Each structure stands twice: as C-alpha cells, then as structure tokens.
Amino acid sequence: MLDHIGLTVSDFARIRNFYTQALEPLDITVVMEVSGQETGAGAHAGFGQSGKPSFWIGSGNKPSGPVHVAFTASTRKQVEDFYAAALAAGGRDNGRPGLRPHYHASYYAAFVLDPDGNNIEAVCHDPSG
C-alpha cells in the first residue's frame, strides 16, 4: 500500500549508521542518497532492496518522531539478528524477539527504539519460522 516513508532525524550521520547496521540482517541497505544541494534542504538516505528505496531518513530542524515502523523479515532468525544488530548499533530494547499471539498465532517480532526514540520493529509472519 505505501510506496515509501521518511523520517526527519536529529543527527543524520549517527542515525544513518544505526539503520545501516540494524537493517543489514533484513537485507535492507542504502540504495540512494540525495544531498542537501539536490533537495534544497537537508541530506537524505533511502534504504531498500533491489535498488528501490522505501524507507528514508533526512536531516532537518526537528525530528519527526516518535513513530513506529515495522520491517518485514523472511525468517525468525532475521528478526533475532535485527534485534542484536540494532542493540549493537545503539538502539534500546523495546521488546525482545518472540511470538506476539495477540496479533496472530505466528506473529514473531522484536522491537527496538532508535537513537531518536522511534519504535523500530522487525516481524516475520511465516509460521514455519
């Protein structure tokens, strides 16, 4: 349904580094960067897969958070690896990897607060894990 989403962040370099590390286990990388000269505003980085940016961060006067963003994981191991990578990159625990059956029987997710306080989730819906 959504084509992409963007967040204004407090410290572009720091938050770019956080997402580069945290999203790597989900095979999500920086696929496009746009300078402040090109946008007429701040610098931006687009994260995605197969050359298509779907999640953007950008510098600006005021962070847009806190918001909740959930990224799809193909396996439960990817959820666990995301959680570990996000904590190692400076995120804070907001929900260890595990089943969340109140959403549905195979909803396996982990939640981390990014350095700006945004609730970042990785979720696997595959019942086989």
Residue 54 in any domain: the answer is yes
pTM: 0.93
Residue 117 lies in a domain: yes
Domain holding 99, by residue range, is 5-124
- Residue 21 and residue 89 in contact, taking contact as beta carbons nearer than 8 Å: yes
Q: Write out pLDDT tens, residues 38-84.
A: 877 889 999 999 999 999 999 987 888 799 999 999 999 999 999 99
Q: Domain for residue 129, yes or no?
A: no
Per the structure, how many domains does the chain have?
1
What is the CATH number for 86? 3.10.180.10
Q: What is the pLDDT of residue 103?
A: 94
Half-sphere exposure of 111 (CA within 13 A, CB side): 11
C-alpha–C-alpha distance, residues 63 and 65, integer Å: 6
